């Protein structure tokens, strides 16, 4: 059984990265592997925004990811500095439910608990 950490760096609404990461996570868990954490960095932090307004015919993959992580007790973290820099979170704007603010130091410390880091 492999313990994975996932790192997302691309905007999930402008690329396939979020869908690919979600598919990878679901498949890994089904195959008996574990996802120890998912960390959103750089433009991927846009997925943590509670202000995303998608067309009715588009799936909300960021909400689906949060739900999946809650079901499987996977920490779903986003870089608070990158999110503040992009206006995703502020003193009055909170992240989407299920997303937890973290720093790069916490991300670095979590790398000791995994076998492989996969970047999307």
Give the whole-angstrom CA distance, residue 35 versus residue 76.
Answer: 10
Identify the helix (H) or strand (E) that includes residue 54.
none
- Mean pLDDT in residue range 64-87: 98
> Using an 8 Å Cβ cutoff, are 2 and 115 in contact?
yes
Helix, strand and coil percent figures for the chain, each rounded to 5: 40, 20, 40
Which of 89, 10, 103 shows the shortest CA–CA distance to 50? Answer: 89
Res. 58: pLDDT tops 90: no
Bridge partners (DSSP) listed for residue 7 = 39, 119
The predicted structure's pLDDT at residue 56 = 84
Task: Grade residue 14 by pLDDT with cuts at 50, 70 and 90.
Answer: confident
76-94 per-position pLDDT tens digit: 999 999 999 999 999 899 9
In a 3-state reduction of DSSP, which class is residue 5? strand
- What CATH number is attached to the domain comprising 78? 3.40.1260.10
Bridge partners (DSSP) listed for residue 38 = 6, 76
Total domains, the chain: 1
Q: Which one is predicted more confidently, 38 or 55?
A: 38
pTM here is 0.94
* Residue span of the structural domain in which 24 resides: 3-51+60-119
According to DSSP H, which parts of 1-120 are helical? 17-30, 61-71, 80-85, 104-110
């Amino acid at each position: 059984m492999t313990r994975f950490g996932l790192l997302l760096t691309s905007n999930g609404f402008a690329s396939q990265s979020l869908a690919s990461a979600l598919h990878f996570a679901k498949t890994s868990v089904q195959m008996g592997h574990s996802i120890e954490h998912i960390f959103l960095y750089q433009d991927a932090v846009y997925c943590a925004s509670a202000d995303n307004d998608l067309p009715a015919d588009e799936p909300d993959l960021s909400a689906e990811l949060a739900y999946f992580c809650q079901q499987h007790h996977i920490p779903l973290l986003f870089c608070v500095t990158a999110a503040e820099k992009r206006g995703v979170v502020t003193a009055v704007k909170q992240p989407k439910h299920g997303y937890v603010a973290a720093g790069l130091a916490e991300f670095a410390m979590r790398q000791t608990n995994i076998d492989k880091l996969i970047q999307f």
